[in-house]
């Protein structure tokens, strides 16, 4: 059984640094904008984002663990994420998913786990025969798009993956 782990909002809390200059972010009224994410300085974003819990230690202790992260640009976001992930000490494989492509089009979900903070990713994962786990960083059972989790196992730490090792 493979364990796929999303990066943004699961391994590192990139949202505050990504949207710190975005209109409406401070009041929670912003709606993510693809153009903003593409143009943002990802070296800045990653340098100003916190690792969530003991993600490095947990992921490095797992068998068949992979970081599966969506990117909006290879040259900016993709390169910065790979460098950051390696500098943090992660030893697992990194799989970059182009923004317009589903995670289930890149890897097989069947019988494998995905830990993600986006309900739409988990919905696709489950439809493809995978085991979805909702990562609830803020403890409100809502994803970043204000969608309430009503059906998936919920966790606030990657520790849950140790039982599947």
Is 112 a domain residue?
yes
Is 80 a domain residue?
yes
Is 22 a domain residue?
no
- Number of domains into which the chain is organized: 1
Q: pLDDT tens digit string along 56-72?
A: 999 999 999 999 999 98
**Confidence check: pLDDT of 159 > 90:** yes
Query: Is the overall model pTM greater than 0.85, yes or no?
Result: yes
Domain limits for position 136? 3-13+50-164
Return the structure tokens found at 163: 């039982």
- Quick one: pLDDT at residue 37? 73
Specify whether the CB–CB gap between 133 and 153 falls below 8 A: yes
d(Cα 39, Cα 30) in Å, to the nearest integer?
Answer: 17
Confidence bin at 26 (pLDDT 50/70/90): low
Is 28 a domain residue?
no
The CATH number covering residue 156 comes to 3.40.50.1000
34-50 as b/e: b if 16+ CB within 10 A = eeebeebebeebbeebe
Is 160 a domain residue?
yes
Compute the average pLDDT of residues 126-140.
97
Q: DSSP character for 148?
A: B
Is 35 a domain residue?
no
3-state SS assignment for residue 159: helix
Is 136 a domain residue?
yes
Confidence bin at 144 (pLDDT 50/70/90): confident
d(Cα 46, Cα 8) in Å, to the nearest integer?
Answer: 10
Percentage of the residues of the chain whose pLDDT score is greater than 90: 80
Is 30 a domain residue?
no
Question: Could you tell me which residue, 29 or 82, shows the higher pLDDT?
Answer: 82
């Amino acid at each position: 059984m493979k364990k796929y782990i999303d990066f943004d909002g699961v391994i590192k809390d990139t949202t505050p640094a990504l949207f710190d200059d975005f209109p409406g972010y401070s009041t929670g009224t912003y709606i993510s904008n693809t153009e903003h994410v593409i143009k943002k300085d990802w070296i800045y974003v990653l340098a100003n984002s916190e690792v969530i819990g003991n993600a490095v230690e947990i992921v490095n202790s797992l068998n068949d663990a992979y970081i599966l992260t969506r990117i909006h640009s290879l040259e900016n976001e993709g390169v910065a994420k790979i460098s950051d992930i390696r500098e943090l000490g992660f030893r697992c494989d990194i799989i970059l998913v182009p923004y317009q492509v589903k995670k289930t089009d890149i890897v097989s979900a069947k019988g494998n786990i995905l830990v993600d903070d986006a309900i739409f990713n988990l919905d696709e994962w489950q439809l493809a025969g995978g085991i979805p786990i909702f990562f609830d960083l803020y403890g409100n059972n809502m994803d970043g798009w204000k969608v309430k989790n009503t059906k998936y196992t919920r966790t606030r730490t990657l520790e849950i993956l140790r039982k599947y090792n």
